[in-house]
Amino acid sequence: MSETFREWTAVQKTFQKVWGYEDLRPSQREVVTSLLRGQDSLAIMATGGGKSICFQLPAILNEGLTLVVSPLLALMEDQVRDCKSRNLPAACLHSNLSQIERREVLRNLPNTRLLYVSPETLLSQPVWEKLSDRQLKITGLMLDEAHCLVQWGDSFRPSYRRLGAVRSALMAQKPDHHPRIALAAFTATADHDTTNELQACLKLENPNIVRTSPYRPNLSLKVAISWTPAGRKSRTLKFIRDRKGQSGLIYVRSRNDAEVLATWLQENSFKTAAYHAGLPPQERRHIEQQWLTNQYPFVICTSAFGLGINKPDTRKL
């Protein structure tokens, strides 16, 4: 029996124990293998393709901390919640935490395997000082929903454009024997130009590029035309009633549209809420939780909601 086979058997056993599946998909296996040997990776995988497992599994098999850069607080909390349900040592840092909570997360970094942060939090002085500690071993830097770097980095989130300097800056603070920090980017949305831009901006070194088909055979699309606001409301009402008990999201174009439609549906005895970026953070977290736990069968939302959220029983959009 070869050493490689024995090593992969150990990886597979950990995967089965933590996630309960028999084996990884071929694309997942390729990314996991790359990260375990310290190679940079760029994974363009369809939604529902199991991208998170690709960096979570190496993180718990390696010694040290893996940093996961994530665009949205809701996405961070959702993934950390899932990790903790599997007894994985994960945490997140964001602006909604109290000072006491932030200090506790930073104090416990040596015992943490996955730390979820936004680009802005990663580059903030208190967090950077902790990560630069020579004694803190960091084995991975993962960029989740990596297309956000291209879409947002030149406008309202310039910190994304600074991520390419993070690895070299961290390595400069570590002792000579510190292992190379593997860097990987994950997205379901990247054409050829976006792929090239991600490689250049992140300074990926000889990355293993894994691309799967974006086609989702379990999804069906249907277009229905309504010419008036009243007609759209009537069609929306019928759509919801025909799918009673199914979990879903109803997307609208503006915050006002979300508020108006949610109020109208509430007046028609539906339990729902409007979700958009104008709501206070605590209210957004509450609505997310109500939807994730099926207290709200559906939510009326703008594009501020849903990026990367994992809810397997979602049946309508």
**Mean pLDDT of the 42-53 span:** 87
Instruction: Please say if the pLDDT value at position 3 is more than 50.
Output: no
- Is residue 67 within 8 Å of 140, Cβ to Cβ? yes
- Among the residue ranges 47-61, 146-160, 183-197, 270-284, the one predicted with the least confidence is 146-160
Query: Rounded to the nearest 5°, which phi and psi values hold at 222?
Result: -145, 135
- CATH T-level fold of 3-211: Rossmann fold (3.40.50)
229-316 and 3-211 share a CATH fold: yes
C-alpha dihedral over 238, 244, 248, 250, to 10 degrees? 20
- Is residue 275 within 8 Å of 285, Cβ to Cβ? no
10 Å CB burial of residue 121 (0-12, 13-18, 19+) is: buried
**Mean pLDDT of the 194-199 span:** 91
Q: Which CATH architecture has domain 229-316?
A: 3-Layer(aba) Sandwich (3.40)
Quick check: pTM over 0.85? no
Question: CA 203 → CA 23, 128, 170, distances in Å?
Answer: 32, 20, 14
Retrieve residue 46's tokens: 């369809």
- Is residue 152 within 8 Å of 71, Cβ to Cβ? yes
Instruction: Please say if the pLDDT value at position 60 is more than 90.
Output: yes
Task: Give the domain ranges of the chain.
Answer: 3-211, 229-316
Each residue of 83-102: pLDDT tens digit? Answer: 999 999 999 998 888 999 99
Mean model confidence pLDDT for the chain: 87
The pLDDT of residue 2:
42
pLDDT band at 233 (very low <50, low <70, confident <90, very high): confident
